[in-house]
Structure formats: C-alpha cells, structure tokens
Structure 1
Amino acid sequence: MSLKRVLGFCGACIAFYIGAGFATMQEVMQYEASYGSRFWIVIAVAALIYVYTNISFVNNGNRLKLKNGGDIYEAYCGKWIGKFFNYFSALFCYMSFVVMCGGANSTAMEQWGLPNGVGAVILAVLVVVTAIAGLNGIVKTLGVLGPVIILLIIGVSLYSAINGWSNLSAGMEAVDTHKYTITQVGDGNPFASGASYGGFVILWFAAFLGGIGARHNKKEVNTGMILSTFAIFAVAAVCCVALIANIDMTWNAGVPALTLANNIHPWLAEAFAVIIFIGIYTSACPLLWTGIRKLSNEGTSKYKWLTIAGGALGCVIACYVPYRPLLNVIYGLNGYLGFILIAFMIVNDVRVWKKN
C-alpha cells in the first residue's frame, strides 16, 4: 500500500464528512450535544454505521467494478428498490448541497455582515468550477484540505472545552433537564439520533466510495476511511464537550462554532469563519457532483450545463429557506431512510460472504 494514497483517501473522507453542519457545529449540536450526558451513545452508533457501510461500499464497488457509483444500490436492493435508492440518494445529495449553500450564506451574514445571498453565490461558484473537473479532481482537492480543516476545528473546540471545563457538569445538567429548547434529532432517543446521523451519511458516501472503490486499491481506500473514523468522531466528541461546557451561549446560536471562536478572540472568529467556509466547500463539491452525475455523464456539455444550473438553483433556495430548519428536516428524514438501506446491505453482504 502507498501511505500517500492512504492519507489522501483519509483526507478525502474527512473533507467530505465535514460540511456545513459539522464545520458550523450546528449538526453536532442537534444530533449529539443536545443529548447532554448521553452524547457518547450517538457518536458510538454513528461511528459503527460509518465504518461498516463504507467498508461495504468500497468492497462491493471494487468487486463489481462499477462504472457508475450509484449502481451500488441495485447490488444491494435489486433492480426496482435499487433504482429508487439510486435516484433518491442523488436527490438527497443535491438537497444536502443546498444545505451547504445555506450554511455558507448564514456564516457570511452572521460573521461578516454580508447581504443575504452573497455567501451562497461565492460557494456555488467555487463548487461548480471544481465539480466540472470531475471525481478525480474532487478527490485530490479534498485530500489536501480535509486534515487541515479538522486540525483547526479541533484547536478551537479543545481550547473551548478546556476553558469551560469547570462548567461542564452544570452544562450537562442544563441539557439533560431541558433548561434550553434545543433543536434535536431523534425525539429524545440517542440511539435513534445515532441511527439517523449514520443514515444520512450513508446516502452521501454510497456512490462516492462505491465509485472510488471500483477505481482504486480497496485496501488503501478502506485503511484511509478507517483512519478518518478516528479523526472525525474524536473531534465530534471534543466539539460536544465544548458546546455543552458553553451551553449558555451556544444553545441558540445559528453558527455555534463562531460563537466559541468569538469567545476566544474576535480575530480568531474571523479566521474561523474562513475555515468554516472551506469546510462547507469540501463537502459541497462531491454532493453536487453526485446529484448531477445521475442525470448526465461526467465531462459532457450536458453535465457542465446541469452543474451550472444546479449550483444556481441551490443559491436561490438557500437564500429563502432558513438554514437551521433546512438542515434539521433534510438530514433527519433522509437519515432514517438511509438506515433502512442498512438492512438490505447486511442481507447482501452475508449472502456474498457465504458464497465466497
């Protein structure tokens, strides 16, 4: 195995995972920190789902030598149900791209005071240019940016967690007793929240890793993905501690990460806003690519025009639909549907294992 390629795949997985929701910490707040002392249950469930499903995507994509990553669904679910998941996941990935536009827009308005729409337009232009370059160009870009982003996020989170450590117990109690009305996924059930969290990521990674697995050494891809698991969920745990320890100021923040950064130093908040924007960009690229790739072949004129049109439409939606409810509805609903896919995956993988 090539260490350089392993680290590249690790970086790509990290960068894909850390989008608007994670980078702004709004996603971490709704799925994990909102459960107070039980946040670790959400993280454990989501991490298990992340590892199993992504190994399955890579191995089956490699075994079947898929020409189109989205065809992985038919391998799991059969022709008709597979087609439903194939088209639905492409739509969901596109709607997740819209969430990314909303996150960029919210960050630009909250931190820099820019007019509504400017942040979304800047993001869409960058993403469209990158997505037109195709999957290989996206992987190279993400592989470089992923580790950088996660190191910077953990820096702010770790400082905030240490600085607010004395308030952690009080913060846990405040969340557990529902002192604050925090938007929450799972209706009070941390296992349901973890399943939903892992479920929506399934629909992000299926076509992406299925296509990468078909084109590369599966051992290298799997090793990079497993390394990304430790990085992603360790940072998620630190973020939860930071958010809960500072719950008085983060519970109702549109962009909790900026609230924490501002509490350290205003200049850091300015720098961190740029980091958030980059984190959003790294997830938005493969999401738009997945949605458009379902409608056209990469590299064609149709693909390029649809990519431009899709980017423009995402901007418009993000400007008129509030970011926080947009994230909650799209991620929550599709997370449960993604979790249903796991049942089909387990049946298929057991059947293949017995056959071999």
Structure 2
Amino acid sequence: MIRSEGAKMVIRLVATYIGAVIGAGFASGQEILQFFILYGYKGLLGVLVATILFAYLGAKVLELSVRLKCSNYQELLAYLLGPWAGSFMDKLSLFMLIGGLGVMLSGSGAVLQEYMGLPRWIGIGLALVFVIAVIFNGLRGLLAVNVILVPVKLLAVAIIACLALAFKGLPQNLPVLSGLGVGGHWLWASLLYVSFNMVVPLAVLSSMGRAVSKRVGIYAGLLGGLGLGVAVALVTLAGLAFYPEVAHYQVPMLYMASGASSLLKPVFAILIWLAIMTTAIANAHGFASRLAPEGGRRYRVIGVLACFAVLPLTNIGFADLVKLLYPLFGYAGLLLLAALLVVPLFKSRIY
C-alpha cells in the first residue's frame, strides 16, 4: 500500500503525465479524429492499444528514471539509446520542446482571437505570464498547477463527450472505414499517436527520478495511462456518434459541443486554453530542467529566456506551426517508442 504522502505524489504525477499529453490537439478533437475516429469501429481497437502503451510506457519511464536517479531526460536517453544516438536525440528533443512551447503560445493567441474576439497578442501575453509564473516556482509549481488544471481539463473533456453522446446517443452502426486517417492503418495510427505524444511526457517525467520512489512512479504511470485511455475512448465514441459530419470540421469537439448545447462554446474555449497551458508548462519545464537539472536560479533564467526566445515563432500562426513541426515530433517519437519497448528487455542491470 502507498502511504498518504505517497498517494499525494501519485496524484501529482498522474496529473503531470496527463497534462503533458492532453494539449490543444487533443482538446480540439482533431488528433482523435485523425488517429482514431476516421478508422470507424477499428479506431476503438486502436484506442485499446494506445491505452495499454500509455500505461506501460508511463510506468516504465518513471521506473527507469528512479532506478537511474535521473534529474533530466538526457540521462534516460543515454541509457536507452547509447552515447551517440542519445546525444543526437537529446539535441532533437531540445528543439522539439522549444518548438512545442512556441506552438502552444501561438495557440493561446489563436484561441482568444477565434473564440473571444480578442487580439492574438493578449492571448500570447497571458500565456507567457502564466508559464513564467509557474517556472519561477520550479518543480513544486509544475506539480501544483497540474493538480489543479488537469482534473478540470479532463473533466471538461469528459463532460463535453458525455453530453454529446447523450444528445446523439451511442453510435448504433459503427462505420467501417479504411485508410482515411493518419498512417493508413488503425494499428499503425495508434502506434504513431503514442510515439507522437510520449516526447514531452518523457522529458517531464524523467526529471522526477530523484523526487519519487519506484512504487509511486509505477502506480502513477499506470494510472496516468489508463486515465488517458478513458479520455481518448470517450472522445472517439462521441466522434463516431457524430460521424460523418464531424470529419468536416477543423475543431471537432466544438462541433460536438455546439450540437449538444450552444452554452458549451465558452466552456470549450476555456478547455482549449487550459490544455494549451499545461502543455506549454510541460515544454518549458522539460527544456529548463534539461539545461539546469539542479534547479534554482539557473533553471528559472533558462525557462524565462526560452519563453521569450520562441515569441518570433508565434508570428507564423498556430495551424502552420502544427503542420510544420508536429510530423517531425511524431517520427522522432518512434525512435523513443521503440527504445522504451525493446531496450529494457535486454538490459537487466544498469551500467
């Protein structure tokens, strides 16, 4: 059994794991549409595969991080990929984290402009202030914010999906689709989805290696993965109920929310913004903790500088940034996915 203090840490880690994965793409429903809904009933099989992988990989990342006493993801990458490939992946991960931070800041501006009619710079500025405030409080700030924001975000996703299902009803005749989504096959799509979404969690969770116990890490990874699976399943079912109309919308969750109730639109806008914030915080923390694993003043300075350094990226626009950067993130994630699945099986001891 886990004592009360350990249980609190499990909750914090579960929230941090889920918060690192559920970003703007998930909350908008576009990711779920492309990776699962467009495969019809086979997409539900993909959800099952993704859930199992999220649970296993989350537990494995935390378990390895504790065993290796990691303070940042560089140490875990060196163990998984070796010196040369680990160094290459380290540099690529830094680029992905800083690029992801730019995408999230741009997304904040896009949300406030599209759903609230405010200038983009206000959304970007609010996100900047929020992320910097969390960075100034270090690891404790990251965990505290996620404990508050992630349950709200997860609950909002579940409520919108459930209301949409209540309005439309469970899909009676699940569409039989083939090759319409990402990857051309439901199994490959589910693998790509997991690999795409494990880059940021690996960067964040690996920094916890000296702060948690092995048992706490394994419990948190398993529960976080299962929580992600439930959220993906709910959105997938709701999307299938609204198929094929939902496939024609850039923001499928907004369409489903509006179909259930027009009052859900502002709730949805808040949901998207919260999703962006938790992912932006995870990116900033992963970047800063890699370059300043000891924390303290250097960690805060690097985190703040990273936030300002990515501001030029926000001029490109949210949709264009996603189109430009996310494919790279997905293919890089495949290397991590393969290493996490294979390497621990052949390394029975730490060298």
Quote the Cα distance in structure 1 between the aligned partners of 2:103 and 2:67: 33
Q: Given the superposition, is the C-alpha separation of residues 65 and 309 from structure 1 closer, same or farther in structure 2, using an over 3 Å criterion? A: closer
SS class of match (2:248)? coil
User: Who is 1:113 aligned against?
Assistant: 117
1:16 counterpart = 2:20: yes
Q: Which amino acid aligns with 2:136?
A: I
Deviations 1:42-79, CA, capped at 9 Å, x for gaps: 32332233223222221221112123333110011111
User: Who is 1:334 aligned against?
Assistant: 329
User: Who is 2:182 aligned against?
Assistant: 185
Quote the Cα distance in structure 2 between the aligned partners of 1:67 and 1:152: 33
| Structure 1: runs of 5 or more not aligned | none
Q: In the alignment, is the contact (CA less than 8 A) between 2:51 and 2:225 conserved in 1?
A: yes
Deviations 1:231-257, CA, capped at 9 Å, x for gaps: 211121110121232245532333322
| Structure 2: runs of 5 or more not aligned | none
Number of corresponding residues: 347
Q: In the alignment, is the contact (CA less than 8 A) between 1:197 and 1:332 conserved in 2?
A: no
Deviations 1:24-51, CA, capped at 9 Å, x for gaps: 2222122222222221233233223322
2:192 to 196, 204, 214: 196
1:344 counterpart = 2:344: no
Quote the Cα distance in structure 2 between the aligned partners of 1:225 and 1:319: 36
User: Who is 2:66 aligned against?
Assistant: 62
User: Who is 1:266 aligned against?
Assistant: 262
Q: Given the superposition, is the C-alpha separation of residues 249 and 109 from structure 1 closer, same or farther in structure 2, using an over 3 Å criterion? A: farther
The alpha-carbon deviation at position 263 of structure 1 amounts to 2.6
Quote the Cα distance in structure 2 between the aligned partners of 1:228 and 1:236: 12
SS class of match (2:70)? coil
The alpha-carbon deviation at position 195 of structure 1 amounts to 1.5
What is the Cα-based RMSD across aligned positions, in Å?
2.7
User: Who is 2:31 aligned against?
Assistant: 27
Q: In the alignment, is the contact (CA less than 8 A) between 1:58 and 1:209 conserved in 2?
A: yes
1:148 counterpart = 2:160: no
Q: Which amino acid aligns with 2:306?
A: G
Quote the Cα distance in structure 2 between the aligned partners of 1:15 and 1:344: 23
User: Who is 1:234 aligned against?
Assistant: 230
TM (norm. structure 2) is 0.88
Q: In the alignment, is the contact (CA less than 8 A) between 1:132 and 1:299 conserved in 2?
A: no
Quote the Cα distance in structure 1 between the aligned partners of 2:216 and 2:299: 30
Q: Which amino acid aligns with 2:87?
A: K
User: Who is 1:76 aligned against?
Assistant: 80
The alpha-carbon deviation at position 19 of structure 1 amounts to 1.4
Quote the Cα distance in structure 1 between the aligned partners of 2:178 and 2:312: 39
Quote the Cα distance in structure 1 between the aligned partners of 2:325 and 2:53: 19
> How many percent of aligned residue pairs carry the same amino acid?
23
Q: Which amino acid aligns with 1:267?
A: L
1:98 to 99, 102, 115: 102
The alpha-carbon deviation at position 117 of structure 1 amounts to 3.5
